[in-house]
Amino acid sequence: MARATDDVTAVDTDVAVVGSGGAGLMCVLHAMTADPGLDVTILSKGAVGRSGCTRMVQGGFNAVLDPADSLELHLRDTLEGGKYLNDQELAHTLVTDAPRVVNELETRVGCFFDRAPDGRIHQKAFAGQQFDRTVHRGDLTGIEIMGRLRDQMFRLGPRELEDVRALDLVRDADGELAGVTALDIRTGRALLARARVVVVATGGAATMYRIAAPAREKTGDGVAMCWRAGIPLRDMEMLQFHPTGLLAGESRLTGAVLEEGLRGAGAYLTNAAGERYMARYDAARMERSTRDVVSRAGYTEIMAGRGTPNGAVLIDISRLGAAEVERRFPGMVERTRQVGQDLARGPVEVSPTAHFHMGGVVIDRDCRTELPGLLVAGEDAGGTHGANRLGGNGVAESTVYGARAGDIAAAIAADRPLRTPDAEQVATSVAAAYAPLTRETGEAPFPVTGELKDAMWVGCGVVRDRAGLEECLQVVDELADRASRVAVAGPREVNFAWQEALDLRNQLTVARNVVESALLRTESRGAHYRADFPDQDDVAWSRYIVLRDGADPVVRDVEHTRVSPEVSA
């Protein structure tokens, strides 16, 4: 049986990148290009470049490329979508850097994006935007980006630790960042990566909901690690539900996104009676309204009994003709056919699905946190999207901020020495990881995970209220107590029950922060909808919530450094 005193394998590196999605691999590309002599180590919970969510991106990448478009318009769309809760400097950086990064992806990384007849990059319509600015490769944009970034890793040759999950950030005796502990999933051996710089880019935690879109390995690991290290988080109540997640019963495809481009191309949303219900919720924009509005509309229709017997609404783009749908959306057509439906020839059952976390670690525009040497990029970071993310701004954020993190990591690593991790911290981290294996008795983790998903879906889902949130918080705390006592049988090699227990710990950490923030925000804004406070209150709540382990919540005024909204009471 594994013991916490087992030897820990140590690796020394200049830059440890935790995660291998778009943010992680762009970080590696930029760091090793800035300084080819850097020793860079990737710690990836799955296969490098072939796991995580960037490769699942169907829709595309928002960037201002057309002379008729403008950075100012993209910024305003991003801020209006985020209901002006955004850190405007982060949003401005996203918008400003995006055109350069698209060009880099094509000319340096080798991506092939779709072209218009005149030879320019084709840009399609996405909801919530006043200009068609979404760059794409059919409806398989993420696979194109990640496949090409993966090719770059072969050229650059970073150290790749696949099937290795990060556990905790560790400091030295003086409290300075010294590295990260990890676990080799294949062997069950503990690892310690000493690093001058650690970049956290693991993705979000939407899998803590019953119906969820992300890759199953995305369980909030990065945010939970930063929380345990005392790093502040912001906007944790802002969890986006995508309005059109595929419903497929017990299949793992349930929750998989049918992307925004369908609605941009003219798909209709109807209830079971065939009514285009968006007329009741946003008659001006209809299906092209923002994700928060369309998600609530679908949820309301289902809860009002106007959904299908399976608890769904319907999306239908078949009026374009089967051949056209198959040409433009081959990935989604194939996905629906796998579960016995056919997007090209008729309506498909969909439901709101937990999709993306706008909240996360507090960073600046260079991905720096308050802990020197620790950078955070991608969905682990908060502030860029405010209360709601526009479709197409997600992969843009990953690659833009991954690139910036790589540039900054190289600069920091040139001057920052390796430090010796505090031995007690390392031992505590490893002991906590091995604890489920050492217990002789205790329940399995899987039922606890299931109860967490149900509790979050019902109590802290698309529509919230105080009673539901308070009950959810109580359930989360009870589940956390049970999770602290789960037991799994050996062996430690490739033990999925053990990995489930470690995932559960992180999901519960993130879930509690989401619920606590949702209770504090007594208004409705973007993805956060309170049925007991249904209006947006700009006078009292043009503010964001910051949480830190062991400290009381702090509410700070949003600084409108670029664009000022019209204030409504």
- Residues carrying an active site annotation: 242, 263
d(CA 20, CA 412): 21
H or E element in which residue 76 lies: helix 71-81
Least Cα distance to 389 among 59, 44, 18, 38 occurs for 59
- Length of the chain counted residue by residue: 569
User: Mind spelling out the 3-state secondary structure of 357-390?
Assistant: ECCEEECCCCCECCCCCEEECHHHEECCCCCCCC
**Contact residues for 169 (Cβ-Cβ < 8 A; gap 6+):** 177, 179, 180, 198, 225, 226, 228, 229, 371, 374
CA distance 391 to 81: 10
Instruction: List the structure tokens of 222.
Output: 């990065």
List the structure tokens of 142. 């993420």
Among all chains, which residue has been given the structure tokens 């003709």? 321
Helices (H), 265-393: 291-303, 322-328, 330-338
Other C-beta atoms closer than 10 Å to the C-beta of 352 total 28
- The angle subtended at Cα 350 by Cα 347 and Cα 355, nearest 5°, is 145
Supply the DSSP symbol for 56. G
Q: Which residues pair with 168 in a beta bridge?
A: 181
Give the separation between CA 569 and CA 555, rounded to whole angstroms: 19
